[in-house]
Amino acid sequence: MSLPLILNLAIALAVCALLFVMQQRHASFTKRVFTGLGLGVLVGAGFQLAYGLDSPVIAQTNAWLDVVGSGYVKLLQMIIIPLIMVSIIQAILKLRDASSLGKISALTIGTLMVTTAIAASIGILMAKLYGLTAVGLTSSAAEVARGAYLEGKLATAQQLSLPNTILSFIPENPFLDMTGARKTSTIAVVLFSIFIGVSATGIAAKHADVFESFARFVHVAHVIVMRMVSLVLRLTPIGVFALIAQVLDSSSMQDILKLINFVAASYSALILMFCVHLLIVSGVGLNPLRYVKKIFPVLAFAFTSRTSAGSIPMNVQTQTARLGTPEGIANFAASFGSMMGQNGCAGIYPAMLAVMIAPTVGIDPWTSGFLLPLIGIVTIGSVGVAGVGGGATFAALIVLSAMNLPVALAGLLISIEPLIDMGRTALNVSGSITAGTLASRVLGETDMRVFNSDAAINLDGDEQVA
């Protein structure tokens, strides 16, 4: 190890130690996440300023930071399937009402799809206001390579028709889906868990003793899994620090400035769509400022990690512990929201991209004949978009190919992809939380004592901190 690398790792370890000490002193979860985020920005920017963007020291430092950042994300992904299964099964055992289950599903999925259509419309509006167009943009070697890669993925994206996507939700081999082997494995596990829960409630009257034994087993499993979730979430501030430091020390300001118009338009659309989420929350009688304060930690993690699926455990914890949403609804919203109706990756991004690319092939994107089909395709195409890295790429490929637009031009944005993907992912997670909150309020299930509480609840602990 070189001396600069040792120095960098020492700085990173010092930050991790500070965050650990804050936890030991019972600093609130939000304060620790804010601290990890802020220190990550400072350390990442400092590393790039000291060594330069393409320095080998930066690459070596990021390899070690990746152990912490990506390692944390992997731990979160490890607990997703157990969390979904035990939470949904337990919720159905308590529910014992198929009609309520149908209402929850309809409200959650309906909200996700409607907000995606709104997000696409906002993306189109921002593209118009900022005058986005791919006409005249030149391609570097990296962008050409990215364009070729996207064309290679086009065949796979074209196979993602709505009937095929819906069919892929059905768990032919639930044990395979528990490994996350398919892009739609999360939804497949949700459906399998629903089958188990409904089957169990079906024997409650005739075999009460068997039902009670199973219910007790599920309860014990749920307690253990939730304890495992809290243990993993304790690493959140450290994971956020490592992830944001990697992004900052490896981002090219020159490339960002070259496409600053697209960055500005993207974040304007993301912010505006987040305001729509807050309007929905206000519309069901909740205080939007209190809501924002309570969901900030999970949005900060989604922003730095760029994974909607990896955010599921913290998403569920936030909805239940801070917003008062029942676990069943929270799990439905978080699980379905990681796979469909993603407002950022599958709504705003492909819509803006289509409007931007259309003029390069002589199409006027500002006609109703172009815009109405675009919004419809974006909304339908958002079903089954994976919630891990690459979901936005597939969403864009589906939309561009359906609109007969050149997919290779999407490669022009490779240099700023990580920067805009951070905001997109945070909006995806915000959309799923909004769907859960809306469903919970409409069904009269929200625990308002939890929502209105000013006590700081540590998502990674078992007790409240005043």
* Size (the chain), residues: 466
The number of folded domains in the chain is 1
The residue type of 53 is: L
Contact indicator for 112, 435 with CB cutoff of 8 Å = yes
> What's the pTM value of the predicted model, to 2 decimals?
0.80
Neighbours of 29 (CB within 10 A): 26
The residue type of 180 is: G
For residue 364, what is the domain's CATH number?
Answer: 1.10.3860.10
Contact indicator for 142, 366 with CB cutoff of 8 Å = no
Of 304, 391, 402, residue with least CA distance to 347: 391
Pairing of strands 464-465, 456-457: antiparallel
Ordered per-residue pLDDT tens for the chain, 466 residues = 789 899 999 999 999 999 999 999 988 888 898 899 999 999 999 999 898 878 899 999 999 999 999 999 899 888 888 988 998 888 888 766 656 778 888 999 999 999 999 999 999 999 999 998 877 655 554 555 555 555 555 555 555 566 777 787 888 899 998 887 777 788 888 889 989 988 998 888 889 999 999 999 999 998 999 899 888 989 999 999 999 998 888 877 776 776 788 889 999 999 999 999 999 999 999 999 999 999 999 999 999 888 888 888 999 999 999 999 998 899 889 988 887 888 998 899 999 999 988 988 888 999 999 999 999 989 988 876 654 455 677 788 788 888 888 877 666 676 677 788 899 999 999 999 999 999 999 999 999 999 998 765 666 665 443 2
Q: Determine the structural domain holding residue 288 and report its residue range.
A: 3-465
